[in-house]
Amino acid sequence: MQRTELQSLGEFGLIKRLHQNVKIYHSGSALGIGDDAAVIDHGTDQYQLMTTDMLLEGIHFDLSYYPLKHLGYKAVTVNLSDIAAMNGIPQQITVGLGLSNRFSVEAVEELYQGIYYACEQYKVDLVGGDTTASRSGLVIAITATGTVAKNRVAYRKNAQINDIICVSGDLGGAYLGLQVLEQEKQVFLANPEMQPQLSGKDYIVGRQLRPEARTDLVYEFIEQDLVPTAMIDVSDGLASELLHICQQSQMGAVIFEDKIPIDALSVETAMDFNLNPTTCALNGGEDYELLFTIKPADFNKIKNNPHITPIGYIREPSQGVMLHTRGDSQIPITAQGWTHF
């Protein structure tokens, strides 16, 4: 039998290949694989949303600098972010843990303190889960559910020509926070007597260690009677997420480099690491902001919102997906974010 290496397909290539053999047996499964969350129709005026995510030690986090309490919090919020990306309100989670024997009861309790705090902050219920042994360190798998009114659900696939592309918050900070943490780890390994030098970097380190899900915007959209035409959360980087929207909507786009929101500390830190801040924003990932498109007629609803920045617009698919640079040229956007295999 022919052997195909996972890295030859990558995460999304593998999902696409496996998806080909999926059969839907229930009419209530309104949407399965292919968006931020599955959509389940129970015959009411609301859809149920469901999503799951895994975090693996050594792949997604390093416990040498990751406090267990923060890790528990993040494990929850990255799932709630997927519910928010469907314009939904999260309601329940289940938690699956794989634990090696190097973890004490107290360590697991600390992890759960972060989980409990996230549940309190986002008003979600922890309703079940599973715990098992692991030979490869800590594994956290969380499933989140939520709801969204049927006339308010936001998919990735419905962006239209002339829609305005918007993003919440700022981008690149989580990636740069990771660079700071990795640098401090190397300094510690070289000299264990050295204390971490994180002063002044709190914001970007926090963006990496304890990100927030932008459920606040979902509530704002309800108040403003605004439904994004397409939406996705920024987990793998702005470039990758914009390409997802364009590919599934079968559209092109242009975003403007000078409009991409990047915090001043992120810019300063990028320069310290000899990195381009725009590249960090495009490809860094783990910001868990919302990237979405709106109809031009809805622009007045977001134009004064300090948490939302218009960065471009949707256009004909033949025009491609481009970055309009500060030098007034256009270059194709390619996804260079996180590679899972």
Question: Is residue 140 located within the same domain as residue 172?
Answer: no
Measured from the Cβ of residue 124, the count of other Cβ atoms closer than 10 Å reads 23
State the Cα–Cα distance between residues 145 and 100, nearest whole angstrom: 28
Tell me if 128 is assigned to some domain.
yes
Per-residue pLDDT tens over the stretch 39-96: 999 999 999 999 999 999 988 999 989 999 999 999 999 999 999 999 999 999 999 9
Tell me if 203 is assigned to some domain.
yes
State residue 197's pLDDT score.
67
State phi, psi for 168 to the nearest 5 degrees: -90, 160
Quick one: pLDDT band at residue 325, thresholds 50, 70, 90? very high
Question: Is residue 89 located within the same domain as residue 201?
Answer: no
Question: Is residue 139 located within the same domain as residue 28?
Answer: yes
How do the residues of the chain divide into helix, strand and coil, expressed in percent and rounded to 5? 35, 25, 35
State residue 202's pLDDT score.
94
State residue 1's pLDDT score.
73
Tell me if 99 is assigned to some domain.
yes
State the Cα–Cα distance between residues 33 and 51, nearest whole angstrom: 10
The alpha carbons of the chain give a radius of gyration, in whole angstroms, of 20
State the Cα–Cα distance between residues 155 and 87, nearest whole angstrom: 9
State residue 33's pLDDT score.
77
Quick one: pLDDT band at residue 21, thresholds 50, 70, 90? confident
Q: Which of 300, 289, 236 is nearest to 263 (CA)?
A: 289
Question: Is residue 74 located within the same domain as residue 115?
Answer: yes
Least confident of 184-188, 201-205, 282-286, 314-318: 184-188
| Cβ-contact 221, 228 below 8 angstroms | yes
Quick one: pLDDT band at residue 194, thresholds 50, 70, 90? low
State the Cα–Cα distance between residues 85 and 165, nearest whole angstrom: 14
State residue 329's pLDDT score.
95
Report the CATH number that the domain containing residue 38 is assigned in CATH.
3.30.1330.10
Q: Is 231 left (phi over 0), alpha (psi -120 to 50) or beta?
A: beta
This prediction has a pTM of 0.92
**pLDDT for 327 beyond 60:** yes
Question: Is residue 97 located within the same domain as residue 40?
Answer: yes
**pLDDT for 283 beyond 50:** yes
State residue 17's pLDDT score.
72
Question: Is residue 43 located within the same domain as residue 123?
Answer: yes
Q: By residue range, what is the domain housing residue 312? A: 164-332
Question: Is residue 109 located within the same domain as residue 135?
Answer: yes
Question: Is the pLDDT higher at 136 or at 271?
Answer: 271
Question: Is residue 133 located within the same domain as residue 185?
Answer: no
| Cβ-contact 51, 144 below 8 angstroms | yes
Last residue of a domain, one of 117, 149, 181: 149
State residue 10's pLDDT score.
67
**pLDDT for 11 beyond 90:** no
For range 206-230, the mean pLDDT: 97
DSSP state of 296: G
Last residue of a domain, one of 99, 115, 149: 149
State residue 25's pLDDT score.
81
Tell me if 278 is assigned to some domain.
yes
State residue 135's pLDDT score.
87
State residue 195's pLDDT score.
63
**pLDDT for 339 beyond 60:** no
